[in-house]
Amino acid sequence: MLSAIKQNDAAVFDLIEAEQARQGISIRMIPSENYVSRAVMQATGSCLTNKYAEGYPGKRYYEGQQMTDAIENLARDRAKALFGAEAANVQPHSGSPANLATYCALAEPGSTIMGLALPHGGHLTHGWKVSFTGKFFNSVQYELNAETGRMDYDAIAKLAKEHKPQILISGSSAYPREIDFSKFAEIAESVGAYHVSDMAHIAGLVAGKQHMSPVPYSDVVTTTTHKTLRGPRGGMILCKEEHAAAINKAVFPGMQGGPHMHTISALAIALGEAAAPEFADYAAQIVANAKRLADKLMGYGFDLVSGGTDNHLILIDLRNKGLVGKPLAKAMDKAHLVCNYNSVPGDTAGPFNPSGLRLGTPAITTRGMKEDQMDLVAGWINTIAENLEDDAVISKVAREVQDLCNQFPLPESFIQPG
């Protein structure tokens, strides 16, 4: 796949080769990262990169759209079938534009939106103050229960009753527990709000029947197409048919010009993979791995936000260990254990050196690792936490991590021939 790059641009080729090697010898635990199949990767580099396709199938502004129309329709039909949605838009370039387009479709500038605060596990585009969504709209932020580290639906309902948002947002980027979308729907209905769910992190778990689906309980559902869903880097919007025209108009021409047809073709492939029986096994293993890793980490004395996990994600509060996130994350990276430092609820440290560490199990599950390997990972994390300044210990862990990775090469296909 890389021979033409090697021939035409050695500098870029060398960097890609180095990154490919790094991914191969690393246990990648950033919850938003994963590995895609070779089919998905090849589609993103196909001739569809050459094609402009402004508009929608049957209503394009350029000619020569016979294949692009068929591809986009296939992706939309597969998305609707996989998630049980009435309508789908597969054109958003990523999750953030999908969120903003949705807000613009359902509310006017300055309207009140209500989402989970970023330090409590929300996303920037759920109305956080530094995001355009927090500036373009009047944003109200709800928080997790300080004692349990979980969603407090009664408190959310009380806040919604007080502020009467036009849009109530459910979903998160760093919340380790299952979200009850039915309760959000009840709260939204009680105050006359639209319920918008952002399932970017859990879309693969929803597809694999490991998490409640937000689709039956939401006016609109947004998502990225990578993360647990294991597709290309892109975005997608699912909605009730009554909102489809407004959503489509908000995406194009409201937010974007031409869609990325190479990404949409890769998404169609990934959605087909997610409909295969093997995908449910993969989603179940993600959760099993996360639970095992969480249990082992707590056994080493790590304090986990909410006391564990229900999904793919673990959020460690390092304050009881006298540690902060950035030095530990960097030490782990030297040992090929890749995660990200992250704020935790009630964090008084700044966002560039917060008190938490965020881990996830999608990528390592894709490699075929299971509970026994999670025991090793937890032990390595504990070893590094206790030896942050000891390069010899970190190097020893790095060799052990690489040996484990060599036992779990990346699969080229996720669908068994049949």
Residues assigned a catalytic role: 52, 54, 198, 224, 227, 233
How far lies 305's CA from each of 128, 248, 297, 346, in Å?
21, 38, 12, 11
Bridge partners of 342, per DSSP, are: 356
By CB atoms closer than 10 A (0-12, 13-18, 19+), residue 235 is buried
Cβ-contact 143, 169 below 8 angstroms? no
Nearest CA-CA partner of 337 in 12, 73, 49, 29: 29
DSSP 192-235: T-EEEEE-TTTHHHHHTTSS--SGGG-SEEEEESSGGG---S-E
Give the torsion sign (CA, 172, 186, 98, 213). Answer: positive
Percentage helix, strand, coil for the chain under 3-state DSSP, each rounded to 5: 50, 15, 35
- Give the whole-angstrom CA distance, residue 139 versus residue 84: 30
Question: Residue 110 and residue 296: Cα distance in Å, rounded?
Answer: 46
Running DSSP on this structure, what letter comes out for residue 356?
Answer: E
Burial letters 287-320, b for 16+ CB under 10 A, else e: bbbbbbbbbbbbeeebbbbbebbbbbbbbbbbbe
User: Which residue bears the tokens 């210990």?
Assistant: 393
> Cβ(51)–Cβ(245) under 8 Å?
no
Q: 399 — phi, psi (to 5°)?
A: -65, -40
Give me the residues paired with residue 357 across strands.
316, 341
Return d(Cα 233, Cα 224) in angstroms, integer. 7
Amino acid type, 154: D
Half-sphere exposure of 75 (CA within 13 A, CB side): 32
How many Å apart are CA 6 and CA 357, to the nearest integer? 37
- The answer to whether the CB of 109 falls within 8 A of the CB of 137 is yes
